[in-house]
Amino acid sequence: MTDTSMHVKRCPECDEWTDAKLDNCTHCGFPIHEARRSEIKKRRQVDDIHIPIWRINKDDPFWLKIFKRPVQLVQLALYSIVAFFIYLATAFAH
C-alpha cells in the first residue's frame, strides 16, 4: 500500500476530511461508510432494473418482425422515461 490518499475521506455531512479507517466522521460523527454503502446500493438497484424488451427472433415470420419493431421502440421510450424519473427521485432524495 503506497497510496496514502486512500486513508482520508471527505465527510458528506460536514464536508471535512476525516480518517477513512473510522466508521464515523471525526468532526460531526456522521457514519461516512454507511452513507456511501446505501448510496452504492441505491445506484445498484437502479442499474439492476430488468428491462424485458420484446426481442425479435431470427425465425420470426416477416410480418411479426414488422410488427415487433415499433413495439420495441415504444417499450424503449417508456423505459427511458421511467429511468429518468427514477434518476430524478434518487437525485433529489438528499
Q: Which residues bind Zn ion (CB under 5 A)?
A: 11, 13-14, 25, 27-28, 30
- Rounded to a whole number of angstroms, the minimum distance from the CB of residue 6 to Zn ion is 18
Measured from the CB atom, the residue of 30 and 79 that comes closer to Zn ion is 30
- Rounded to a whole number of angstroms, the minimum distance from the CB of residue 34 to Zn ion is 12
* CA 72 – CA 68 distance, rounded (Å): 6
Angstrom distances, CA of residue 37 to CA of 9, 17, 75, 76, 86: 14, 18, 32, 30, 19
Measured from the CB atom, the residue of 29 and 89 that comes closer to Zn ion is 29
